[in-house]
Structure formats: C-alpha cells, structure tokens
Structure 1
Amino acid sequence: MTATRARADELLTGIAGPEAQLRDDQWTAIEALVNHRRRMLVVQRTGWGKSAVYFIAAKLLRDSGAGASLIISPLLALMRNQVAAAQRAGIRAATLNSANMTEWTEIEAQVAAGEVDVLLISPERLNNPGFRDEVLPALAATVGMVVVDEAHCISDWGHDFRPDYRRIRDLLAGLREGVPVLATTATANDRVVTDVQKQLGADTGVLRGGLDRESLHLAVVRLPDTTARPAWLATHLAELEGSGIIYCLTVAAAEDLAEALDAAGWNVAAYTGRTEAGERERLEHALINNELKALVATSALGMGFDKPDLGFVVHVGAPASPVSYYQQIGRAGRGTERADVILLPGVEDREIWEYFASVSFPEEATVRQLLGVLTDEPQSTMKLEAQVDLSRSRLEQVLKVLDVDGVVRRVKGGWTGTGQEWHYDAARYAGLAQARTAEQEAMLAYEATDSCRMLFLRGQLDDVTATAPCGRCDNCTGRRWDTVIDEATAQRVAERLTAPGVRLSQRRQWPTGISVRGRIHGVEPGRALGRLNDIARGPALNVLLADRSWRPTTPWQQDTWLPRIVAVLADWDWDTRPTTVVALGSHDPAATEFTAALAEAVAAVGRMAWAGVLPVRPGAGEVAAQNSAYRVTALLDHWDFSSAGPTDGPVLLVTDVIDTGWSVTVAGSALAERTGQPVLPFALASRG
C-alpha cells in the first residue's frame, strides 16, 4: 500500500490540531521512509516538527502491515510529551523508562501481542539485561522502523556524547533489509552529519534546513561583578514576558539560585538530575501551565521539553559549546512572536568546563585497574567502587563505555569481565579533547563578538543558509540590557545566599507503581551544614564523615562543629520551633552511634526533648538500590517505629548524610503520622 499525503495530513491534525498541514519537506521525509523504505538523516531546527514526521511515518507503516516502530529518545520529558501527542492521533504508543519500571512486564507483553504502534525507549535501555536479551531480539526481528532522536549523540563528535548511543550502531547493523531508519537532530555541524551518515549507510538521504529562529532575541549581559547575577536576575525577571527556563551549569548553582529568587519573591523551582521523575513531571506541567515564572534547571531539562509559548531562556553561566547553547535556547519561542535569550557569563565558567572535561574518561592505568578487578562473578557498582579510585557516577560512565567496547558486560547482579582484549584508544580520546577545547574557545568568542549572535551560532552549525544578520540580537539592534540592580532586592538575595548551611528540597510525590502513592505529607524542607562538593565546606565535611570519631565537647561554644550547627538551626525559618529530636538509625552501628551523639548534643543545646534513635529493624541490611521505586519499597519496612508516639511539637530528624533524600522522607513521613507533628530533616551534609 502506497501512503498518501492526504492520509498523512489527516494524522497530523490529530497531533497538531485541525488546521495543521504538512510542509513539503516534512512530506519528503515521510514518503522516503514509508514508500521507499529509505534511511534518512533529518537536520532541522527545533520546532520544525521532527516528531510529527516519525509518528505519522510509524502509523502509515503499521497501516501497511509493518511491525511496531522503535523510537530511541534521550529524556523522560521527551517521552512523556511524545506519548501524549501520539495518542491524540490514535497512535498506540508506550514507553519503557526508569519512571515506569513496575509497568515493564505489561508493556512488553503488549508489544509482543502487536498492541503497540510505537515503543519509545532511552538509549540506556538497550543495555538493560532483561530488555537486551529477552525483548529486543524479537522486537528487532519484526520492527517496522527505527528512529534515533537527537542523533548527533551517535557521533563521537556529538557535543553530548552518551556511551549507550554507540550501541545503536550494532542495532542498525543487524536490521533486516528494507527496514527504514530515521535519524533526527537540530544540532549537527558538517563533521557530525558526515559521521552520522557513515553510521547509517552510504545511501542515507540527508534533509537539512536553515536553523534561524525568527522569534529569538539574543543578548549577552556582562556584569562587573558576576556574583551579582542572582540579584540582577531577581531585579529584571519582571521584564521577561511569560514563563521560561533559567539554566545553570551545576546542580548546586541551580538549587542556590532557585532559593535566591524565591527569597526575592519569585515563584520558581529547581529542576536537576537529582530531581525525582515524578517531581520532574509535576514541575514540567507547572511550567507548561504558567504556574511558575521559571524552572531553574541544569541540562537535565533539555532535549524534548515542549512548551510552545516559552517566553525566555536565561543562562547563568555559559555552556561549554555554542552547539549546546543553541540546543538549549531552542526551547524558547516556538509558538510566540518574541522570546528573550540572555547569557550571563561567569568568571568560573572555564573552571567548570575544565572540571567536566577532566572527568570524561580516566587515564589508561585507572581503566586497567578496573578491568583487573572484574571477574566472571557479577559485582555491583557499589562493590567495584571500593576497589577502584573512581567516583560512583564516573565509574558507571566508564563501565558503559567498556561495555560498548565489548570488554565488560552488564548482567543481572552487576558487571562481569568478558576476557576480550581492550585497546585504549588514545587517538580518539585526544581528538575528543581537542574538539572540546575548540568548542570552549568558540563559546568565549560568541560572548565577545560584536557581530550578529544568531549568525555566529548558525555558522558554528555549518548552516549554509546563514547569510544575513538576524536584525534582532543586542549587537544588531544596539539595545542592551540595563545592568542596574535594585538594592533592596540585592539585600534579600544576599541574605539567602550567605545564610548558614544549605536548604534541602523536599520530596513531594511518591514514585509510581509502589504500595504508597500520591503526595507526600508531613515532611518539611530540611537543612544541612553543607554540601560534600562545596569548595569551602566540602573537604572538612568529607574528613568528618570518613572518620566519624568526632564527639561533642562542652561547653558547646568551644566545639569544632556545634557552633556551626547552631547557626544553621538559628537561621531556619520554621513555622513552629521543633520540640523533639530523633536520630535516624543506620544498618552501620558506627554511623548510628555517630548520628546519635550529634542528635543528642543538638537536643541539649536547643533545649529540646531527646527521643533517642529510630532503630533499624533486626536483620535489615543496607538499602543499595538507586532507582527510586525500589529504594522506597525497601525503606518502607526498614525502621522500627514501635517506640514513636505523639509529641507536643515538630520533630527534628537528624542524620549524617542526605543523598537521594528518600531515607529521611520515608522515615519522616512515618514519624509524622505517628507523632501527629511535622518532621524537619537535618543533616551534617548533602551529596548534591
């Protein structure tokens, strides 16, 4: 059956509304995929309609008797939006991701039964042992089309290199003849296009359009003192129309800026890689519905987030490349006549770039050390972490690269070695490092240029249609943002940013698919003395927690740590002062003893009732799961609450370190229910 443009237009109305019609270039891509079963690389600006192309193509292929299409997408926000869009058009879409693990078995059964038209997965799912060995082979044998979204990640030269994208090459190479493949991206220069085309095959068609965004008004604001950026933003946020995204380079910067803007009276929220999936979805909807002025985000809010009327994108700190920058600002102005794009560079930007570059891939000796401890017996990441000098996140990244290289294998229970020889590809890593350095220099050139900023970005992406200045940016128009800062606003921001300790955001929603559900009640936002990755406080806190030999001294004013803790508690703007202190017990007796000594001292200094330790149930071991659903399920039965009873005021729940936040949330929620009072978590340190 030959697909027609009329039928494609009919499907589009279900996705984009009754007046929508396909453009010629969109139909060109659809026809090549459906009627000619070709492989296509589509490089088009954000908002061009790439998702409409692959959903319509998937449905037309299904109508002709083909199997379900597999769409590999990078982020949960993208999947959620796309599943909803597909369902509006009558396309049966499902997704397998970390936020719906409890539904995988049912969804996989639906795929096997032919009840799904489109299955969306993350690239990481390709290396999930169960999916890789049990689901993918059958799906690949019957798949109607494969779509690789954000396909620049296939290339070693992509600016957002993800190891699991390299696994897609093997998937594509194993497809039967005649299966169409669509690769899409908005951020690919000539080098990346050539590399991706090589991965797809020599006869791959390329559909490439201009990358100008006529709604975007670009500007760079250089402040004499870059530490004043939060105050400047709090002063001028009212001049930015609608709601938007404020990007920061690190999790800590995003959380601190969100707090500063909140102190200045702005309704904002932090959105980072540490934000739980359910909370991310809630925040995305809040921004889409204009319930927030802005999300203060890291790159965790990026590819695929769809809000057509997003009014502005501000960067507090520059991304490491113009390509990354172009991609992030592309979130704005898809459905508006004007959107403001502002970059506020910082003196620390280059240092942050160098840090992220330094942890990209370790030296050969460290990799050899890791390979040396891997055996035929599966070992968890946590166990390997104790044997190799790599942080957890970096260790996981290296293992993924080695898995793609075939020298390690992810199995149920952890990781094993394969025994294959491994070559340290120094030339490739050096090439990536050189490319990264060139991109950083180009980003600095963007900040300094006195020419058209949009033309500069399009040139970095090798946009051959970029010939004329945009006429909209600050350099084209000569209009600059005022650098004046309101003194009262600056004072409120400074008070929040220099307050003792750090604020801990609260978990608001239980993970999906477990025995508890809905909103979390009874646990208030918490405080910590500092972050373990703080430049100033982190080193001393790391030593304190590694040794755990500290015990409070008297008088408390002469103790090393108690005066700092008292300062944090004194600055805490709680509605009602806590009256009772509880220490959160651990499976580790030494950690429990340390936390109990801390909590009892806090109770004495604050003249609060000391209620003792909330003990771990006999036989309960360490909860190692990082996935939220599994972690919460294990924690629900972790502590013994039999001694907890009503109190006459709020409870201060004391622990040593807060990582995911789920331990204090689960324990705090149960304590709130039993005491009838709100629970306020306090920790010596947070990992975020």
Structure 2
Amino acid sequence: MTQEAVSEAERAAVRECAEEVLRRLAGEHAVLREDQWRAIEALVVDRRRVLCVQRTGWGKSAVYFVATALLRDGAAAEPGEPPAGPTVIVSPLLALMRNQVEAAARAGIRARTINSANLDEWGEITAEIRAGAVDVLLISPERLNNPDFRDNVLPGLAAGTGLLVVDEAHCVSDWGHDFRPDYRRLRTFLAGLPSRTPVLATTATANARVTADVADQLGDALVLRGTLDRDSLRLAVLELPHAAHRLAWLADHLDRLPGSGIVYTLTVAAATETAEFLRSRGFAVASYTGQVEDADRRAAEQDLLDNKIKALVATSALGMGFDKPDLGFVVHLGAPPSPIAYYQQVGRAGRAVEHAEVVLLPGQEDTAIWRYFASLAFPPEEQVRAVLAALSPDRPLSTQALEPIVDLRRARLELMLKVLDVDGAVRRTRGGWTATGEPWTYDTARLRRVAEARNAEQQTMLEYARTTVCRMEFLRRCLDDPEATPCGRCDTCTAPQFDAKVSPGSLAAANAFLGRAGVDIAPKKLWPTGMATVGVGLKGKIPPAEQILPGRAVGRLSDQGWGSKLRALVGPEAPDGPVPADLAAAVVEVLKGWAHGDDAWPQRPAAVVAVSSHRHPELVAGLAGHIATVGRLPMLGTLSSTHRGDGGPRGNSAQRVLALHDAFSVPPEMAEALAGLSGPVLLVDDLVESGWTMVLAGRELRRAGAAGVLPLALAVAG
C-alpha cells in the first residue's frame, strides 16, 4: 500500500488504534501528542525513517512501543503482506533496557534483551525470535560486532526486523558529547534491512550539527524537533570554595531536596567518597559507577525506584540508563565538560512531578579532570599505523597481544580498534583482530575539528556557571532550540532557592573525612601477556619469592580531599622539592594505621629504600629519609635505575614492563645490608601509576635477599 493510497479515513483508524495502545501503556487518560502521532504515522503508515529530537519525558519510548504494537498487528500493511517482524531497539545501557522491558509488558508487548549479562539465554531468545514469540528485542550497540552475534544472529535479525529503533541516537555522531563507535555499525544493520522497514532514531540531546549528522546517516529521514524546555526544573549554580564545602552543603541540604534523586560526580573516586560521607552523616544513599558489580547496581536502581534511598551517587555510567519519572532533584559535584551532557543528565529529574531542583556545585579541579578525559581521545597517527602494521589478514591478535607493540592503555586501544573496525580497516574475529587490507586514511582535519568542538563545549560550560542570563535558556540555546526563552524559574530569573552557607558541624565533619590519609596499593600477581613478542622473558605468575606485599599511599590524585595537594606535589609539571609538613605528617599517620587493624602489615619494616626518581629526586629521598628518622629505621639508600624516561605514565602494563624489566639494580652495599635484615623493606616512591615500578624495583630487592617489600607512596594515580 503506497503512501498516497492510504486514505484519511484509514489514517484516522490507525490513529485510534494507536491511542488505544497508548492507554494500555500509560493509563486511561493518556493522549498522543501531535508530534508523537506524526512519528507513529510516518513509521507505521508511510514506513519512513524518523529522527525525533525531543526533551526527556516527551514520550519517545511510547512512540516505538505503540508503533511496534501496530506493526505486529499488521496495521497499514499492503495486501498479502504479513505482520511485521520484531522491533529491534539498540539501547546503550543495561539499566535502560530493564526499564524498557518492564514498560513494554504494560502494553502487552513481549520484550527480551540480548546483552553481556545473559549469555546463557541467547539460544533460548534466538529460538523465540524465530518462532515469532518476541515483539521487541533490545540489544546494546556492542552486540552488533560481537563475532557470534554478528555472524550467526544479526543477518537473520536484520532480514526479519519490523522496526529498527536507535535510542540515544546522538551517540552515532562523533560531534556528539557521547560518541560511541559501536553505534556507527548501525550503517551495516541499516543496509541489511528489507525495503519498507521503518527506522526510528531518538535523542534528547542533539544540537543542529549533531541532528544533521544523524539524519544524514539515516538517509531520507523525517526530522521532528520539539521544544527543549523542561518547565518542572529549577536550575541553580552555587560556587563553593573547596570539596569539603561541597560535601558539607550536601549534608546540610539533602533533606531539603524533594523526594529522591541523583548526585552526579566526575570520577569514580568522588562517587565512592561522597556516598561514604553521606552515609556517615545518616543518609540512605548508594554509589553507582562502572566499577560497581552489576548485581549491586541493579539493587541500587531498585532501591531508588522504590524510594528506599534518598539518592544514588553516580558517575556518568547512569547518565542515559535510568528511568524514574518522579525524581525530585539532581545535584552535580563538579561540572560535566559539555552543556549538552549536563542538559541530558539533569533531564532525568522532574518528568512526573511539578517541581524538581537542579543544583550545580562546580569544583576547581573540574578543568583538570576534563583535560584527563580529553587525553584519552583517538590516538596519534603513528600509533594507529603501528597497530595496523602488526595485524595480518589471517592471524588474529588479541588486544592483550597488541599491548606490547603499541603504547596505549587497553581501553584506549580497544576504542581505536573499534573505530578502525567501523572504518573497515580491521575486523573483529573469535581470536581477536585481523587486518582487512582495505586502504585507510587518518582524518586529521576532522579529528582536529572535533577536538576544537570539545574545547568550545568546555568553555561554554564554564560560561554556564558564571552566566547572569536564564540558565534554562542558556542550555536550550546550546542545543540550538529556536524557541529558547527565559524560564522564570532558575536562580537568575527569580530568587534563589538555596544559598552557599554550610553549618560549622557539617564542614568540620567533611574536613575530617577528606583529611583521612591512606589508600591501598594492590600487589600484582601476573606478568602482562605477550611479553615474549618484544624479547622479554616474563610470563604467567610472578614467582612468590619475587612478589611485593600490599602497600599504602596517602591518597589518590582524584581524591576530593588530598587530591589537589598531591597533584600539585607529584603531578607531571610539579617542581621538585622537600616534602611539605602536612604531607609528611599524613605519611606518618598512614604508617601508624598500617601497623594496626585487620589488614596490618605482616611484620614491621626493618629498613627503608628509596626508588630512583628522575622527576622528583629530592622529594623521594627526603620522604624516605624522614620515614627512616621517625621510624628509627636504617636508611639503605636509593635503588639504582638505568631508566631515563620522562616519568610520565606509560600507555599500558606491557609497555611499562618493557621499559623497566632490567632497569633496576641493587648496589653491593645495599645487598649486603639486606642480607642482615630479618624483616621487610619499606620501598618509598612519590607516585604509583601503573604499579609496575614498585613491582620491578621490589623484585630486584627480593632477588637480592630482602625478606619482603612493602610499597609506600605519596599518591596513587586515578
């Protein structure tokens, strides 16, 4: 049935069916918005491709669930055309998938998901799809290039798909704030769809450039762009001097914030610390980061849904993946690097309540954190070419096997390989990665323009914190909303709801909490894989007689408390000099705590040794000497090193071991002294980054006769 052949009466009949499905989904009084109907009409009647750029809470999921029900019932089908196959929803996060499965059930739609958490169900789900028993299949973009899924499931799935939905479609565009290369594989999916298969892409956070990029990748798409105003949100910014003041403000005001909500942080460490502090002040909160086990994340999500906790303290791992319409507040401890990302995160609140409070508490460390994450962008061309040169068409190499060849951390290496895969230069197989032999060009100009766009977004976020114009209007203009006008609700449009005052008790508690010193340094038990390929004969388990013991540091560089002081002291641009008195005292406190408790050292140190440092020799030697004096321990000197690196972090463990495996040697007088010791040696350094300096320096001490090695550092990276 052609578009022209569908009469107005038939379209009206389809709309009535759509309204009925919506009532099953959202309640007896629910009515389709006009743009929702336009999207459903284009998908079901006209079998078109549609891009919906609509604010959070507008009802994008209602569009694809209603369209699914109509297509599965054969609405507007051509004569003799069977009902449509299942809808495939490409969705970025497991939490969002779980919400969608539950929402679909309310409309009588059977939804299943294929993801890394239910591998044992894949066969059963695939059989259900073939039997026509699945209406909606939710998959992550990463599934599109899982070798088993890509080769055995995807071809049949694409051929039988009744509707393809690309959720959070801004991820398709590398201009977007959250580009994910796996989304680019949707081009292959799109190319395999039968004719007349409708496609819906949805996002709440796409400016004009991203919208045009996504629409171009979809093809001939109907773009439905609505107003981005959120009339329930009251935006505010409070400038507080230090991390302790931000924690104290939270402790003083969390009870005043309506309902339950989300506290966002920029780092995993900050999320963990903030949750711990708030619990110590009597609040029911849970942390939610990429390092939390999936079962614990699920439990935390459910506790917030059930209002059993006041807040989730989360990183951006929760950004797109949670659906609770009655969230009453969103607080940010630190600003995201993009106003578009910020708009998306605050958009989680206020969807089904009259008022929701949104408060940004920017930090002085925000720009340093932004720079760190920006440094993880696509690698320079020479590193990319090194990987391509190492790969062959017929002998797969795993990511681990590539690490000794190229100086990139694993996460960054995998991101690069995904981009090369999307570009057709490499292919992921069961054994790892192979080269395709296809020509590939390093797009320097585009990468530079994207980096410039990111820098501009960061500057705009700084402007947002300082602006005296309407904050909602500011964010809407960042998203190129032509209808942006003053909201009349934010702290620049009307009297602020909150001030920057904190109580002395909360501030004292926050200072005491952040002033605690001591984090673990976990010992390594295994050598990196693939070292033989670069001529280093280390593999498998590190022999127990060559291992170091668990260690301690004052804090992490990302800590809210000690972090700023440690970054100023041991950062790559920090000058060398003596140990400041407050950090020297903190080291002594760490040693006192290490001597007692359940995880105390197995034996008191018998001597002190310093690691040779080319960045901060005075700092490290002075610290070791101070510890020896305070602890009344012999100072055995500095471990010799032939390594002349710049002291900066290496890309991965294999590269670090390659650089350091034969760099350390024990002077004869130190070896003689070690032989006469009955206890372990305290090995002192300024900064632990990969951890391999301590491992390899400690290995030489153990081989020279040390009974044990206890690592101690001022700071741990991360």
Same topology, TM > 0.5: yes
Q: 1:7 to 1:350 in 2, by over 3 A?
A: same
CA contact (8 A) 2:552 2:590 kept: no
CA contact (8 A) 1:152 1:192 kept: yes
Cα distance in structure 2, aligned partners of 1:569 and 1:488: 31
1:126 aligns with 2:144: yes
Q: Which has the larger radius of gyration?
A: 2
User: 1:623-660, CA deviations, whole angstroms, 9 ceiling, x for partnerless residues?
Assistant: xxxxxxxxxxxxxxxxxxxxxxxxxxxxxxxxxx999x
Partner of 1:290: 307
User: 1:360-384, CA deviations, whole angstroms, 9 ceiling, x for partnerless residues?
Assistant: 1111111112222223322222222
1:416 aligns with 2:426: no
308-317 or 152-161: which moved more?
152-161
1:37 aligns with 2:47: yes
1:42-57 aligned at under 5 Å gives the runs 42-57=52-67
* C-alpha deviation, 1:227, in angstroms: 4.5
CA contact (8 A) 1:226 1:345 kept: no
User: 1:227-285, CA deviations, whole angstroms, 9 ceiling, x for partnerless residues?
Assistant: 42112211221221111101111111111111222222222111111122221111111
Give percent identity, aligned residues only. 58
Cα distance in structure 2, aligned partners of 1:470 and 1:288: 29
CA contact (8 A) 1:500 1:568 kept: no
1:23 aligns with 2:49: no
Q: Which amino acid aligns with 1:408?
A: V
Partner of 1:11: 21
CA contact (8 A) 1:246 1:316 kept: yes
Q: Secondary structure at the match of 1:156?
A: coil
Cα distance in structure 1, aligned partners of 2:114 and 2:269: 30
Cα distance in structure 2, aligned partners of 1:250 and 1:393: 16
148-157 or 8-17: which moved more?
8-17
1:166 aligns with 2:192: no
Partner of 2:495: 478
User: 1:71-90, CA deviations, whole angstroms, 9 ceiling, x for partnerless residues?
Assistant: 10111111000011101211
CA contact (8 A) 1:247 1:299 kept: yes
590, 593, 600: which is aligned to 1:564? 590
Q: Which amino acid aligns with 1:406?
A: G
The unaligned stretches of length 5 or more in structure 2 are 2-9, 75-82, 522-549, 572-583, 604-630, 632-687, 691-710
1:254 aligns with 2:280: no
Partner of 1:188: 206
295, 308, 316: which is aligned to 2:325? 308
CA contact (8 A) 1:452 1:475 kept: yes
Partner of 1:615: none
* C-alpha deviation, 1:181, in angstroms: 0.6
Q: 1:565 to 1:421 in 2, by over 3 A?
A: farther
CA contact (8 A) 2:554 2:587 kept: no
Cα distance in structure 2, aligned partners of 1:132 and 1:259: 42
Q: Which amino acid aligns with 2:264?
A: Y
CA contact (8 A) 2:85 2:162 kept: yes
Partner of 2:352: 335
Q: 1:87 to 1:528 in 2, by over 3 A?
A: farther
Q: Which amino acid aligns with 1:309?
A: D
90, 106, 109: which is aligned to 1:88? 106
64-73 or 369-378: which moved more?
369-378
Cα distance in structure 1, aligned partners of 2:350 and 2:90: 26
Q: 1:402 to 1:110 in 2, by over 3 A?
A: same
For the aligned residues, what is the CA RMSD? 3.1
Q: Secondary structure at the match of 2:492?
A: helix
Q: Which amino acid aligns with 2:189?
A: L
1:667-678 aligned at under 5 Å gives the runs none
Partner of 1:426: 444
Cα distance in structure 2, aligned partners of 1:538 and 1:318: 19
Partner of 1:359: 376
Q: Secondary structure at the match of 1:54?
A: helix
CA contact (8 A) 1:270 1:296 kept: yes
CA contact (8 A) 1:67 1:142 kept: yes
Q: Which amino acid aligns with 1:183?
A: A
1:71-86 aligned at under 5 Å gives the runs 71-86=89-104
Cα distance in structure 2, aligned partners of 1:494 and 1:165: 44
* C-alpha deviation, 1:340, in angstroms: 0.4
1:490 aligns with 2:500: no
Q: 1:448 to 1:581 in 2, by over 3 A?
A: same
TM-score under structure 1 length normalisation: 0.75
Partner of 1:623: none
Partner of 1:666: none
Q: Secondary structure at the match of 1:306?
A: coil
Q: Which amino acid aligns with 1:29?
A: A
User: 1:28-53, CA deviations, whole angstroms, 9 ceiling, x for partnerless residues?
Assistant: 21111001101111111100110011
User: 1:152-175, CA deviations, whole angstroms, 9 ceiling, x for partnerless residues?
Assistant: 111221111101111112321332
The unaligned stretches of length 5 or more in structure 1 are 505-525, 543-557, 583-604, 606-656, 660-681
377, 381, 398: which is aligned to 2:399? 381
Q: Secondary structure at the match of 1:427?
A: helix
Partner of 1:213: 230
Cα distance in structure 2, aligned partners of 1:144 and 1:686: 51
CA contact (8 A) 1:44 1:208 kept: yes
* C-alpha deviation, 1:105, in angstroms: 1.7
Q: 1:7 to 1:530 in 2, by over 3 A?
A: farther
* C-alpha deviation, 1:541, in angstroms: 12
22-31 or 37-46: which moved more?
22-31
Q: Which amino acid aligns with 1:217?
A: R
Cα distance in structure 1, aligned partners of 2:20 and 2:717: 51
User: 1:101-156, CA deviations, whole angstroms, 9 ceiling, x for partnerless residues?
Assistant: 22112112211222111111111110100111110101111111111111111122
CA contact (8 A) 1:658 1:683 kept: no
134, 155, 174: which is aligned to 1:137? 155
CA contact (8 A) 1:259 1:496 kept: no
Cα distance in structure 1, aligned partners of 2:238 and 2:14: 50
Partner of 2:221: 204
471, 477, 482: which is aligned to 1:459? 477
Q: Which amino acid aligns with 2:590?
A: R
Partner of 1:512: none
* C-alpha deviation, 1:562, in angstroms: 10
CA contact (8 A) 1:501 1:527 kept: no
1:386-397 aligned at under 5 Å gives the runs 386-397=404-415
Partner of 1:156: 174
Q: 1:46 to 1:683 in 2, by over 3 A?
A: farther
User: 1:269-302, CA deviations, whole angstroms, 9 ceiling, x for partnerless residues?
Assistant: 1111112222111111111111111111110001
279, 284, 287: which is aligned to 1:270? 287
Cα distance in structure 2, aligned partners of 1:418 and 1:538: 43
User: For this pair of structures, how many residues does the alignment match?
Assistant: 549
Q: Which amino acid aligns with 2:361?
A: L
Q: Secondary structure at the match of 1:389?
A: coil
CA contact (8 A) 1:99 1:278 kept: no
User: 1:535-571, CA deviations, whole angstroms, 9 ceiling, x for partnerless residues?
Assistant: 67799999xxxxxxxxxxxxxxx9x99973542565x
Q: Which amino acid aligns with 2:319?
A: G
CA contact (8 A) 1:264 1:493 kept: no
User: 1:397-436, CA deviations, whole angstroms, 9 ceiling, x for partnerless residues?
Assistant: 1111111111111111222222222211101101101111
Q: 1:93 to 1:481 in 2, by over 3 A?
A: same
CA contact (8 A) 1:141 1:176 kept: yes
* C-alpha deviation, 1:13, in angstroms: 2.5
CA contact (8 A) 2:594 2:601 kept: no
